[in-house]
Each structure stands twice: as structure tokens, then as C-alpha cells.
């Protein structure tokens, strides 16, 4: 990914970044999140809600390794990981999904059901 694409995408409004992520995850069947030094998923909190961050590319995730997340690592996941691990992790902990935060600003926040519905709709275009 080139710097111009990174610069252009991070300037998009949160909902536009969300649509970008849905298309990219459906296309590449991979996504990225952050884990701490113990390999545990990084979670943020806003207004008493816990948020699981998710990005379409490693470069975007790296931009958020600030403000207390400096010691985190980017973790690459695929759709099998989403189905076999991430969905249960999010559902069991009642997390929301923070899609494409930028730096220390929240991205577009959705429920697991909303994210799954939108991703499944997009995946139908690839069948």
C-alpha cells in the first residue's frame, strides 16, 4: 500500500472508512487487530462500552500504536479466525466493533450482528 492511499483513506469520514473495510475484508479475506505483550486482544472503552478494533491493512493498525498502545503488536486474521475465534470473543464479552479507528480517534462502531450482516452482503458479490 502506498502512502498516498494511506493518507487518502485516513481522511475519510468514519462511515466511509467502514465501507472501505467491508470491501477490503471481503476482497482479501483478511483483517488486522492489535494484541498486547501477552497476545491478548487490545480493547478500548468509550461511554461504558468495550470496543474491539479492526482494520483492513497492517499499515492502518500501526497508526494506532500510540496513546498506551505503543507496546502492542499487529495481528493478522482471516475469515476462518473471524468465524472460529473472533465472533465468540466479541459475543461472549459483549464488545462492539470499532472499525478503522485512526490514531487515537474512534472509528465507526457497530455491533457484531451489523458487521456480520454487512460483510456477508459484500461477500455475496464474490461468489
Residues 100-118: pLDDT tens digits?
Answer: 999 989 999 999 999 999 9
What does the buried/exposed string (b/e) look like for 25-50 if buried means 16 or more CB atoms within 10 Å of the residue's CB? bbeeebbbbbeeeeeebbbbeeeeee
Q: Is the pLDDT of residue 127 over 80?
A: no
Q: What does the pLDDT read at residue 126?
A: 81
CA distance 103 to 97: 16
CATH number of residue 44's parent domain: 3.40.1350.90
Element (H, E) at 89: helix 87-93
Q: What does the pLDDT read at residue 11?
A: 95
Per-residue confidence at 9, pLDDT binned at 50, 70, 90? very high
Structural domain range at position 54: 3-126
Per-residue confidence at 1, pLDDT binned at 50, 70, 90? confident
Q: How many domains does the chain have?
A: 1
Residues 27-77: pLDDT tens digits?
Answer: 999 999 999 999 999 999 988 999 999 999 999 999 999 989 999 999 999
Q: What does the pLDDT read at residue 56?
A: 97
Amino acid at each position: 500500500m502506498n502512502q498516498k492511499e494511506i493518507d487518502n483513506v485516513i481522511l475519510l469520514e468514519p462511515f466511509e472508512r467502514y465501507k472501505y473495510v467491508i470491501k477490503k475484508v471481503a476482497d482479501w479475506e483478511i483483517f488486522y487487530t492489535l494484541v498486547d505483550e501477552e497476545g491478548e486482544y487490545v480493547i478500548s472503552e468509550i461511554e461504558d462500552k468495550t470496543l474491539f478494533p479492526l482494520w483492513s491493512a497492517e499499515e492502518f493498525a500501526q497508526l494506532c500504536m500510540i496513546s498506551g498502545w505503543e507496546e502492542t503488536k499487529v495481528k493478522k486474521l482471516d475469515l476462518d479466525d473471524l468465524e472460529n475465534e473472533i465472533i465468540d470473543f466479541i459475543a461472549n464479552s459483549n464488545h462492539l466493533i470499532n472499525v478503522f479507528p485512526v490514531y487515537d480517534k474512534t472509528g465507526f462502531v457497530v455491533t457484531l450482528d451489523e458487521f456480520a450482516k454487512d460483510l456477508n452482503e459484500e461477500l455475496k458479490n464474490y461468489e
